[in-house]
């Protein structure tokens, strides 16, 4: 019993049994952990660089940009990049990178602030609302990151 447990522990330290394989080709080591948030649900996929870049033309562009990208809120290693959906609906296309904790917090804040009765507004008012929400969310993230950093 005792020795079996020791062997398992040694394996974990060695790390060889914990190489994660690419979900797509199941051959290469998964070096890309792709997080996407769809309708408030986050999904993550583990892909190798090849499969990730092959999965979509945007992914190829993105991974090139991601090489030297930083989380735009805390400066950490970004786990995901994409077009900011708030910027998109307001007509501004920009790439945005954030690490997983920041991404989740940003998403949570936006969901929380989105007004359920906004659909009754005119398109112009909705856009104004979303622009304001985008600015509020950025301000909230700066606050959140500084509080998180001091903990």
By the criterion CB under 5 A, which residues form the site for Zn ion? Answer: 22, 24-25, 28, 48, 51, 71, 73-74, 76, 99, 102
Q: Please state the closest distance from residue 110 (CB atom) to Zn ion, in A.
A: 15
Q: Please state the closest distance from residue 135 (CB atom) to Zn ion, in A.
A: 18
Show the beta-strand stretches assigned E in the chain.
32-38, 41-47, 80-83, 95-98
| Distance from C-alpha of 36 to C-alpha of 44, rounded to nearest angstrom | 6
Q: Please state the closest distance from residue 132 (CB atom) to Zn ion, in A.
A: 23
CB 55 within 8 A of CB 76: no
The sign of the dihedral angle between the CA atoms of 25, 31, 33, 34 is negative
Q: Please state the closest distance from residue 124 (CB atom) to Zn ion, in A.
A: 33
Give 35 or 48: the residue with its C-beta nearer to Zn ion.
Answer: 48
Q: Which residues have a Cβ under 8 Å from the Cβ of 74 and sit 6 or more positions away?
A: 99, 101, 102, 145, 148, 149
Give 49 or 127: the residue with its C-beta nearer to Zn ion.
Answer: 49
Give 50 or 131: the residue with its C-beta nearer to Zn ion.
Answer: 50
Give 75 or 132: the residue with its C-beta nearer to Zn ion.
Answer: 75
């Amino acid at each position: 019993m005792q020795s079996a447990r020791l062997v398992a522990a040694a394996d974990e330290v060695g790390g060889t049994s914990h190489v994660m394989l690419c979900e797509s080709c199941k051959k290469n080591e998964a070096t890309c952990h792709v997080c996407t948030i769809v309708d408030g649900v986050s999904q993550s996929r583990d892909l190798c660089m090849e499969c990730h870049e092959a999965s979509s033309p945007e992914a190829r562009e993105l991974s090139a940009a991601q090489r030297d990208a930083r989380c735009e809120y805390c400066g950490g290693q970004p786990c995901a990049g994409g077009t900011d959906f708030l910027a998109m609906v307001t007509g501004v296309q920009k790439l945005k990178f954030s690490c997983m904790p920041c991404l989740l917090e940003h998403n949570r804040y936006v969901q929380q602030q989105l007004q359920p009765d906004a659909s009754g507004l005119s398109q112009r008012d909705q856009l104004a609302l979303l622009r304001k929400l985008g600015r509020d969310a950025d301000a909230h993230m700066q606050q959140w990151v500084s509080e998180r950093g001091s903990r």
